[in-house]
Structure 1
Amino acid sequence: MKSIYNATDLPLKEEYDYIIVGGGITGCPLAATLLANYSVLVLERGSAPPSYPQLLLTIDRVQEDDGKMVQEDDGKTHYHRFTLEDGVAIVRGRVLGGSSMINGGFYSRADYQFYNEFGIHWDMDVVEEAYHLQHLMGTKTSSSIFDNEGKRHEAVELLNKGELKNLKVAFASYVERIIFFSKASGVSTSGIVYSDSKERTHEALIRDEGEVMLSAGAIGSPRLLFLNGVGPLPHLSSHKVSVVSENLDVGKFMADNPRNSINIVVPFAFDPSVGYVVGITKLSVATIVEKFSGPLSSSSLRLVSFIDVKVSPTVRFNYFEDPEDLARCVRGMRHSLPRNLFDDASMETFCSSTVTTIWHYHGGCVVEKVVDGDLRVVGTNSLRVVDGSIFNTSSGTNPQATLMMIGRYTGLRMLQERGVAK
């Protein structure tokens, strides 16, 4: 794609109509939609997409050093691995296309209850336009971003649907600062300062009526707000960060859907029910994965460094902190095991000791707390957050399709606001 550049090859100063921070599952469809009428710069901290994206299966395995969990991340892979304070290893996509380049390819619409609880007054006609999948009543089976020949179709392909003459994508770019200024209507955003791999500083500015959109995910977007003075006063002041807009809820109401697995050896051959690429062996092993949506346990994100933008924040999801979450895990496991095999106390220990992530974490910039119903950051102008950090609950089975929809949906609504779309 001719529109993709190493950040080192872009001008040190340039203007655009829109700037999107994060070229992932939500940022790509958002950009593709806006490209119909406007110039767009997409800033991606990761690399350009590979020719043959591979499925990552072992992202929840980490080594131990003297009994402590350690990070296995050299800064060069397509996935950014780090360990939660809970001791669970998680990953973030670090490549153009985001986690759609490394995930299992599951594609499933959000439950209708999700829209009712979200906090946005949805235009369901626009929602339907942004989806291309319908579920029949009954058991929800997965669709997939893999085609019948096993080829992955990731979010980055959506950029080809837009007017590429209006697009510039800068990979290996790190956002150093959101440029804020004050005016009569409040604090506004005029652009982004970012650095490239040669540590040169670039300034990307937005034109009149333009906007900056954060699509860096549930970890990245609240982190960027913190770094730029949007957040709770005590946390910012303790790190001597100038407060641009105080908001006590930035980085809060985060949650991850806990995952627990049981492996069962079965005496017969069977077909997998989830769309993974699998090897063929003589041993038939079934893995039953329990994941429940809408965990009651929640957590928050805190920054370690307000100086180095590449340092990961600290996150603790507090899996099973709420007793009801633990009880739900026990009930779910009992459906998969013989009756009366273990008592509740043993099952609770099993749930707590085997918990890991299913990579569907969300929150941190929740609607009606950090952003309004149009996803604008409260207390600022020309700054929105468009990604999974705005979720106040899980979208259901898998968030990938919903995240793509929200990118497309927000882009269409923005075009409507400017009078260039119906």
Structure 2
Amino acid sequence: MASALVSAQTMAVFTVASFFALLCVAQLARAVNYTFMREAVHAPPVAYYDYIIIGGGTAGCPLAATLSERSRVLLLERGGSPYEDGRVLSMVHFSDVLADTSASSASQRFVSEDGVINSRPRVLGGGSCINAGFFTRAGAGYVRAVGWDPREVLAAYRWVEDVVAFQPALGPWQAAVRRGLLETGVLPDNGFTYDHIPGTKVGGSIFDADGRRHTAADLLRYSNPDGIDLFLRARVARILFGYKGTKPVARGVVYRDAQGGTHVAYLNRGAANEVILSAGALGSPQQLMLSGIGPADHLRSLGIDVILDLPGVGQGMSDNPMNAIYVPSPSPVEVSLIQVVGITRFGSYIEGASGANWNSHPSGTQPPPRNFGMFSPQTGQLATVPPAQRTPEAIARAVEAMSQVPDAALRGGFILEKVLGPQSTGHLALRNLDPDDNPSVRFNYFAHPDDLRRCVAGISGIERVIRSRAFSRFTYPNFAFPATLNVTADFPVNTLYGRRGGAGGGGGSDPRALEQFCRDTVMTIWHYHGGCQVGRVVDRDYKVLGVEALRVIDGSTFNASPGTNPQATVMMLGRYMGVKLLRERMLFEGPGRKNP
């Protein structure tokens, strides 16, 4: 009786502490007051701008802030402000946002045709408001391949990093993952760095030392407040076009506010003025199609007037497949998201995320351990069920099953691998004419054999880390890797395990078993891209092919995901292209013009 009372009192203390921690974050959030940010219901019926940016996300915010230096900019965001919801800005409540499937959530769930549950942002700041926070640049080879100027790229990264990036302090579990990677040959030891280079490194984080998230929305502090209007809950219905001869020219946009009111924004007259899509890998190709640019037959089937037959819109969709191993731990595990990464030479990235022990949280505010941050049925990361079977009913059963598991069994962490590239591609299509609805998208995970090979190599790399001396503190005696696989995958991996020597003989896992494991436990790490790729939809300056005054600047243009996490590069791209567009404007207008 006494122990039960103490336990209840302890839980009450933690609950109150958690409440006040969230309250403090919310108060900090409310302290951000952009004078140019308003609800779309307060927008004028008709207005004129030099640039109209559709999407206030990871690219849109730095792009708008930069262009506002010497132009009139309109930034339209379909979601709300991250400063309205303390959960968005708190690492402790990271999974709560992903698990929130309400219409007002900052995270909008979608399920690909492959059956993998995924999320897209619906908030100012975009994916930087709902991701796991890892911050790393693209590799030098990637920069060369896409034709960016390396010096300008570095300057743009640093512009972003001055506001949103921090060096994380590693706890014991993350430190063990790092030592395990080094012990198993993922070399050299690159220490802490933002650079993407082979070996093991500690990357940056957009969470500061207090666990507060800093997002692309914070980059709007660079804005000239006299040069920008930002409207929230502004849902763009379509882009408006005129013609120069037979060539379509973007003229403006029609958008609706939260009460259904219609507003029109037009471009000012001038050769340098443009509409820019920065709505993300799902939103940008979707918006092009809704506006009449895309595969003509598909558009006509939905009754959309075809402005331009551009078959590449919606093609080349890719999502880096992620697979993870849960490692039960006899020792306490700190709560952390992604901090350490092993950049291997076989085309897979190995990373760690933990943990589920609420007593280990430094502030004592971690809620009862019923989810694992990135990995839980509530967030849709349901690896125990093959993709085709991840129904709402399966999620509900998994949530109920987790609620019955003793706390001690939930103490541990995940080591994951993400496939480089990937080479498997799919496509996106409209389901209907509603811009708020999710389009249909298929990523075709592991359709290319190289992706499957890299996954198998990555899982084998995780096994070596778990078996390393450096990681021994966080594994139970007589550790059996097949049993660990079976915690994550609901099929008997161990019946195929060890045909090349077995667990005791050091032969490792049977590749056929691991191939099946990869297919059955595939999840997303939210790094999907494509749909408006360079050469298919836009040119190397991100101008839409066959159209004037229209660009796409975001991750939909990528042929491969940059670095181990794309958010730093997407933010960099917004700044990089903003600087480039301002220079082009100076050529048209001369250096004397400033914002009216």
TM-score, normalised to structure 1, is: 0.91
Q: Which of 122, 126, 131 in structure 1 is aligned with 2:157? A: 131
How far has the Cα of 1:277 moved from its partner? 8.8
Q: Do the aligned residues in 1 keep the contact of 2:143 with 2:150 (CA within 8 Å)?
A: no
Q: 1:355 aligns with which of 516, 522, 532?
A: 522
Deviations 1:122-160 (A, max 9, x none): 222211110126646652321011222222211111111
Give yes or no for the alignment of 1:54 onto 2:90: yes
After superposition, give the CA deviation of every residue in 1:302-351 in whole Å (9 maximum; x if it has no partner): 1010x322221111111111122112211211222355454222222211
Kindly indicate whether residue 208 of structure 2 is the aligned counterpart of residue 147 of structure 1. Answer: yes
Q: Equivalent of 2:49, from 16, 40, 43?
A: 16
**Residue 563 of structure 2 corresponds to which residue in structure 1?**
396
Alpha-carbon distance in 2 for matches of 1:181, 1:187: 6
Q: What is the CA–CA distance in structure 1 between the aligned matches of 2:216 and 2:452, rounded to whole Å?
A: 35
| Residue 269 (structure 1) shift | 5.1
CA distance in 2, matches of 1:160, 1:319: 39
Q: What is the alpha-carbon distance in structure 1 between the residues aligned to residue 337 and residue 267 of structure 2?
A: 47
In the alignment, is the contact (CA less than 8 A) between 2:424 and 2:448 conserved in 1?
yes
Pairing of 1:222-371 with structure 2 (within 5 A): 222-268=285-331, 274-275=338-339, 280-281=358-359, 285-305=412-432, 307-337=433-463, 339-340=506-507, 342-371=509-538
Q: Say whether the 8 Å CA contact 1:60–1:89 is kept in structure 2.
A: no
> Which residue does the alignment assign to 2:229?
168
User: Percent identity among equivalent residues?
Assistant: 42
Residue among 101, 104, 126 paired with 1:98: 126
Match of 1:366, SS state, is: coil
Q: CA deviation at 1:413?
A: 0.3
Q: Give, in angstroms, the shift of residue 237 of structure 1.
A: 2.2
User: Per-residue deviation at 1:81?
Assistant: 0.7
On the 8 A contact 1:131/1:405 being kept in 2, the answer is yes
1:377 aligned residue = 544
How far apart in 1 are the matches of 2:155 and 2:450?
A: 37
Aligned residue for 1:362, secondary structure, equals coil
Residue identity in the other structure for 1:289: L
Considering fraction of residues, name the structure with more helix: 2
SS in 2 for 1:140: strand
Distance in 2, Cα, partners of 1:260 & 1:142: 20
Task: Give the stretch that moved more between structures: 272-281 or 294-303.
Answer: 272-281
Answer whether contact 1:46 1:78 (CA < 8 A) is retained: yes
Between the aligned partners of 1:37 and 1:273, the Cα distance in structure 2 is 39
Classify 1:205/1:277 alpha carbon distance in 2 versus 1 (closer, same or farther; 3 Å): farther
Q: Deviations over 1:336-378 (max 9, x none)?
A: 2355454222222211111010000000000121001110100
Which deviates more, 135-144 or 204-213?
A: 135-144
**More displaced stretch, 33-42 vs 97-106:** 97-106
Q: Can you give the 5+ residue segments of structure 2 that lack an aligned partner in the other structure? A: 1-33, 162-192, 340-352, 361-407, 464-502, 592-596
Aligned to 1:179, the other structure's residue is in SS state strand
**CA–CA separation in structure 2 for the residues paired with 1:58 and 1:333:** 28
SS at match of 2:316: coil
- Tell me the secondary structure at the aligned position of residue 100 of structure 1: helix
**Structure 2 residue 204 is matched with structure 1 residue 77:** no
Distance 1:212 1:152 in 2: 30
Report Cα offsets for 1:179-229 as digits up to 9, x if no partner.
Answer: 001113721011000011111110001112311100000000000011111
Q: CA deviation at 1:117?
A: 2.8
Higher percent of residues as strand? 1
Aligned partners of 1:86 and 1:316 also within 8 Å: yes
What letter is aligned with 1:204? A
Once the two structures are superposed, what CA deviation does each residue of 1:365-415 show, in whole Å capped at 9, x if it has no partner? 001210011101001011000100000111020001000000000000001
What is the CA–CA distance in structure 2 between the aligned matches of 1:286 and 1:240, rounded to whole Å?
50
Aligned equivalents of 2:112, 2:96: Cα separation in 1: 16
1:131 and 1:40 map into 2 onto residues whose CA distance is: 22
Task: Assess if the C-alpha contact under 8 Å between 1:299 and 1:315 holds in 2.
Answer: yes
1:414 aligns with 2:414: no
Residue identity matched to 1:46: G
Q: Which residue of 1 aligns with 2:572?
A: 405
| 2:53/2:64 contact within 8 Å kept | yes
Are 1:299 and 1:317, in contact at CA under 8 Å, matched by a contact in 2?
A: yes
For 1:122, the equivalent position in structure 2 comes to 148
Larger radius of gyration, structure 1 or 2? 2
Alignment partners' CA distance in 2, 1:153 and 1:167: 21
User: TM-score under structure 2 normalisation?
Assistant: 0.65
**Structure-2 separation of matches of 1:157 and 1:273:** 21
Using the alignment, how far apart are the partners of 2:137 and 2:511 within structure 1?
34
Give me the whole-angstrom Cα distance separating, in 1, the residues matched to 2:511 and 2:434.
46
Secondary structure at 1:208's aligned position in 2?
Answer: coil
Please report how far the alpha carbon of residue 418 of structure 1 lies from its aligned counterpart in structure 2 after TM superposition.
1.2
Aligned partner of 1:68 in structure 2 is: none
**Partner amino acid, structure 2, of 1:113:** G
Aligned residues between the structures: 408
8 A contact 1:19–1:42 mirrored in 2: yes
Provide the residue aligned with 1:34 in structure 2.
Answer: 67
RMSD in angstroms over aligned alpha carbons?
2.1
CA drift of 1:59 comes to 7.3
Measured after TM superposition, the shift of residue 268 of structure 1 is 4.3
Following the alignment from structure 2 to structure 1, what is the Cα–Cα distance between the partners of residues 327 and 420?
24
